[in-house]
Amino acid sequence: MSRRAVGAPLSRVDGRLKVTGQAKYAADHPADGVVHAVIVGSTVSRGRITAVDTRAASALSGVLKVISHRNAPRLAYHRNPSSNNPETGERLRVFQDDRVRFRGQPVAVVVATTPEAARHGASLVVVRYDAEQPSTDLAGAPASAPVTYARGDADLAVGSAAVRLEMTYRTARNHHNAMEPHATIARWDGGRLTVWDKTQWVVGTQRELAAVFGVELSAVRVISPFVGGAFGSGLRAWPHVTIAALAARMVGRPVKLVLTRGQLYSGTGYRPAYEYRLRLGSDRRGRLTAMVHDIRAETSSYEDFRENVLAAGQTLYSMPHVRQTYRTVPLDVNTPLYMRGPGHVTAAYVIESAVDELAHELGIDPIELRRRNEPAEDESNGMPFSTRRLRECYTVGAREFGWERRAPEPRSTRRGDWLIGMGMAAGAHGTVRNPAQARVVLDARGTALVEAATSDMGPGTYTSMTQIAADALGLAVRAVEFRLGDSGMPRTPAHGASQTTASVGSAVQDGCDKLRRQAIELAVGDRRSPLHGVDARHVTVSAGRLHVTADPARGETYQRLLARHGRARLETLGLFEPGESRFSTAAYGATFAEVAVDHRLGLVRVLRMLGVYDAGRIISPKLAESQALGGMVGGIGAALLERTITDHRDGMIVNADLASYLVPVNADVPDLRAIFLEGADPEADPIGVKGLGEVVHIGVAPAIANAVFHATGRRVRELPITAEALL
């Protein structure tokens, strides 16, 4: 019997390609006759373009064309709600008018035969503006009408609560800052467009390009086999994708466009900055009665970006009264976008900090307080939970982390110049499932090819899909190849919101199940097969061989079966269509952190962290662990380092590079450990997974912030926590 692939700690099946440089990222694809484009960004944040002087750039050797709103064709820009474009507002239409909406907005593009000439040319384009004073500061800026939620009477309940707390928390704008910059290669063959792009959703980019250029969907093909990290930034087709395609059409040659690191700060989205006021009421025993959430977040002047910042306040803890208002604040900035755990990360920081504050106020252990407020059902909709094992996460986490060694009183543990503290926080992320398809082909050699138009930005889609397919087909892992990243492949949802394994994995499972059954039917109905006449339900496939479950000696291989039937291949299309669920399903986690704070110098060092997760079935434990460690590292960044800083006088981002936008380096990352509760959630989806990529990042920053409070006795209600806040 072969071992099962699902649950085995496999290394990445694409690991060798990556470490040997053979994996082709967006800008790596060869395209005959390719030329290069460099964007000229606006140097003002608001106003009108009054002149574009392209003479010096055009005169440069190698420059083919300088494109701006002066000479660009009008594009169709059909409405397209299906590519993660915000529901409200109009997307930025590149080179369609003279209006400047944010600093760094593309106002021209230089196309040249070499990247050097294009870059030099871009620096020679002189653009003049009629500039207006921009508004880029969330603080004090007017907001749009709120989205609201209410149950009970939260204002009244807070007002009459035995214990009341009121706090305002602030979080900085964060950029995704994946290693691979966004890049696009575009080529027209007559009326057909092929694009190699960094994207988490080839289908979304395909739809957007079809809508922008007013061509049939079938005329656009988007290819993206490898993504060098994304964290959400690849969930929309950004203006530069259109620019590459537009430039390719105008010069009649394939065009490659790679954003510089600096351009990524205005050319793609970001996690918006928030101001989040929370009022809560509880009884003296720490039972929450009410929370009032008043939330403000930045968005652009032209699109109303919103994310799921309300869910945590409705479902994380039991309480009869909740009121929420969520206002976006339109500013002269580019539009934000989902970033790992969008909305949930921010809400968890606020709620988990506030709960920690309440625990301190009441002198109750923070875990005990959380236990007292654990809901019995999803109080936002009355549904039962399919699985919710947060209590187990607390128990296992407390035990493994040594929580009992935590002195209840803050600022009570000191080692030399360092104050030591422990903190923890919970997190939840509702399981997202969407329709997906996967094609499965078994060939005469007995090897399988499985395809779906999904993506692998790092979590290991290639590997986990291979594992699911191998088990379902009864093949060894090496006999299965999984391909992704081409819009011509079967449709899948966006590779985000932790839905890929649940959705695409379920489609792969279905397609492989169908194919296996098809082969079995073929065998049992075949007089020449040793399996002839056996009840199909009593046939198993393992290691590429079909056999009677109770009599492994009786059977034959896929190869023999197909050869005898003169079949070159068997092929099926796997489908996943999530139905209406009767359950509330989410992944849960508890993150623990121990920090040291230099009490004189304001330095914070994370000493160790532990995450315990209830995420359903773990398909690929080694990569799941990697994902959890990455989620914790990202949380260290959000808690202590990461912030995009805007000079509000003119909208300039002053730290638009990786030397000054600080992400954790190895020295900042201590001993990290991840534990996954064993089990599966059969109600979640056919393969029992609940999603992992988001939940491992949600709750990390508040765990650290709570540990800083425990170490120092000082509550900093703003992220990142800087040295000056602790002096």
- List the catalytic residues: 694
Interacting residues with another protein between 602 and 631 (CB under 8 A) = 602-603, 605
Query: Which one of 160, 647, 671, 682 is in contact with another protein (CB under 8 A)?
Result: 647
> Dihedral angle at the C-alpha atoms of 463, 10, 637, 258, nearest 10 degrees?
-40
Quote the CA–CA distance of 546 and 523 in Å, as a whole number: 8
Q: Which stretch binds another protein (CB under 8 A): 147-155, 197-205, 492-500, 653-661?
A: 653-661
Enter the tokens of residue 450.
């499985």
Query: Which one of 258, 641, 675, 701 is in contact with another protein (CB under 8 A)?
Result: 641
Q: In this complex, which beta carbon is closest to another protein, that of residue 172 or of residue 531?
A: 172
Interacting residues with another protein between 272 and 331 (CB under 8 A) = none
Yes or no: say if 291 and 278 are a contact pair by the CB < 8 Å rule: yes
Of 33, 335, 370, 304, the closest CA to residue 144 belongs to 304
Q: In this complex, which beta carbon is closest to another protein, that of residue 104 or of residue 574?
A: 104
Yes or no: say if 704 and 593 are a contact pair by the CB < 8 Å rule: yes
Q: Which stretch binds another protein (CB under 8 A): 94-102, 180-188, 228-236, 598-606?
A: 598-606
Q: Which stretch binds another protein (CB under 8 A): 186-194, 351-359, 531-539, 654-662?
A: 654-662
Residue partners of 415: CB distance under 8 A and separation at least 6: 596
Of 312, 291, 289, the closest CA to residue 380 belongs to 312
Quote the CA–CA distance of 558 and 564 in Å, as a whole number: 10
- Alpha helices, DSSP H only, in 363-409? 366-372, 390-401
Q: In this complex, which beta carbon is closest to another protein, that of residue 375 or of residue 670?
A: 670
Q: In this complex, which beta carbon is closest to another protein, that of residue 145 or of residue 659?
A: 659
Q: In this complex, which beta carbon is closest to another protein, that of residue 441 or of residue 603?
A: 603
The DSSP bridge pattern shows strands 448-451 and 480-483 to be: parallel
Q: In this complex, which beta carbon is closest to another protein, that of residue 251 or of residue 669?
A: 669
3-class DSSP assignment, residue 667: helix
Residue partners of 279: CB distance under 8 A and separation at least 6: 158, 164, 165, 166, 291, 292
Q: Which stretch binds another protein (CB under 8 A): 264-272, 392-400, 559-567, 666-674?
A: 666-674
- The distance of closest approach from Cβ of residue 216 to another protein in the complex, given in angstroms and rounded to an integer, is 40
Task: Find the length of the chain.
Answer: 727
Edge-to-edge strand list for the sheet holding 718-719 = 147-151, 321-331, 288-300, 274-282, 163-171, 718-719
Query: Which one of 144, 395, 581, 655 is in contact with another protein (CB under 8 A)?
Result: 655
Quote the CA–CA distance of 40 and 239 in Å, as a whole number: 13
Residue 409 binds another protein, judged by CB under 8 A? no
- The distance of closest approach from Cβ of residue 273 to another protein in the complex, given in angstroms and rounded to an integer, is 15
Q: In this complex, which beta carbon is closest to another protein, that of residue 141 or of residue 603?
A: 603
DSSP state of 713: S
Residue 400 binds another protein, judged by CB under 8 A? no
Site string for another protein, 412-451 (x = CB under 8 A): -----x----------------------------------
Residue 668 binds another protein, judged by CB under 8 A? yes
- The distance of closest approach from Cβ of residue 667 to another protein in the complex, given in angstroms and rounded to an integer, is 4
Yes or no: say if 609 and 681 are a contact pair by the CB < 8 Å rule: no
At 78, phi and psi to the nearest 5? -65, 150
Number of residues that bind another protein (CB under 8 A): 31
Yes or no: say if 284 and 369 are a contact pair by the CB < 8 Å rule: no
- The distance of closest approach from Cβ of residue 41 to another protein in the complex, given in angstroms and rounded to an integer, is 9
Interacting residues with another protein between 472 and 511 (CB under 8 A) = none
Interacting residues with another protein between 43 and 72 (CB under 8 A) = 43
Quote the CA–CA distance of 721 and 704 in Å, as a whole number: 10
Yes or no: say if 446 and 544 are a contact pair by the CB < 8 Å rule: yes
Quote the CA–CA distance of 102 and 105 in Å, as a whole number: 6
Of 234, 182, 237, 188, the closest CA to residue 209 belongs to 237
Query: Which one of 662, 673, 714, 715 is in contact with another protein (CB under 8 A)?
Result: 662
Quote the CA–CA distance of 464 and 543 in Å, as a whole number: 18
Query: Which one of 320, 478, 600, 671 is in contact with another protein (CB under 8 A)?
Result: 600
Query: What is the Cα Rg of the chain in Å?
Result: 27
- The distance of closest approach from Cβ of residue 647 to another protein in the complex, given in angstroms and rounded to an integer, is 5
Residue 671 binds another protein, judged by CB under 8 A? no
Of 192, 238, 188, the closest CA to residue 35 belongs to 188
- The distance of closest approach from Cβ of residue 120 to another protein in the complex, given in angstroms and rounded to an integer, is 6
- The distance of closest approach from Cβ of residue 104 to another protein in the complex, given in angstroms and rounded to an integer, is 10
Query: Which one of 8, 17, 543, 645 is in contact with another protein (CB under 8 A)?
Result: 645
Residue 20 binds another protein, judged by CB under 8 A? no
Residue 160 binds another protein, judged by CB under 8 A? no
Q: In this complex, which beta carbon is closest to another protein, that of residue 62 or of residue 621?
A: 62
Interacting residues with another protein between 560 and 589 (CB under 8 A) = none
Of 117, 93, 115, 116, the closest CA to residue 105 belongs to 93
- The distance of closest approach from Cβ of residue 332 to another protein in the complex, given in angstroms and rounded to an integer, is 16
Q: Which stretch binds another protein (CB under 8 A): 7-15, 481-489, 491-499, 597-605?
A: 597-605
Q: Which stretch binds another protein (CB under 8 A): 445-453, 496-504, 558-566, 658-666?
A: 658-666
**β-strand partners of 693:** none
Q: In this complex, which beta carbon is closest to another protein, that of residue 128 or of residue 445?
A: 128
Task: Report how far apart the first and last C-alpha atoms of the chain are (Å, whole number).
Answer: 63
Q: Which stretch binds another protein (CB under 8 A): 27-35, 574-582, 584-592, 652-660?
A: 652-660
Quick one: how far is CA 432 from the chain centroid?
A: 12
What single-letter amino acid sits at 662? L
Yes or no: say if 518 and 570 are a contact pair by the CB < 8 Å rule: yes
Quote the CA–CA distance of 639 and 631 in Å, as a whole number: 12
Q: In this complex, which beta carbon is closest to another protein, that of residue 121 or of residue 458?
A: 121
Residue 518 binds another protein, judged by CB under 8 A? no
Angle 32-38-41 (CA atoms, 0-180°, nearest 5)? 155
- The distance of closest approach from Cβ of residue 270 to another protein in the complex, given in angstroms and rounded to an integer, is 17
- The distance of closest approach from Cβ of residue 140 to another protein in the complex, given in angstroms and rounded to an integer, is 17
Q: In this complex, which beta carbon is closest to another protein, that of residue 348 or of residue 606?
A: 606
Q: In this complex, which beta carbon is closest to another protein, that of residue 537 or of residue 600?
A: 600
> Dihedral angle at the C-alpha atoms of 119, 124, 130, 135, nearest 10 degrees?
30
- The distance of closest approach from Cβ of residue 226 to another protein in the complex, given in angstroms and rounded to an integer, is 24
CB-count exposure of residue 481 (10 Å: 0-12, 13-18, 19+)? middle
Interacting residues with another protein between 103 and 142 (CB under 8 A) = 116, 119-120, 123
Q: Which stretch binds another protein (CB under 8 A): 79-87, 179-187, 525-533, 665-673?
A: 665-673
Yes or no: say if 626 and 618 are a contact pair by the CB < 8 Å rule: no
Provide the binding-site residues for another protein, judged by CB under 8 A. Answer: 43, 116, 119-120, 123, 417, 600-603, 605, 640-641, 645, 647, 649, 652, 654-655, 659-660, 662, 664-668, 722-724, 727
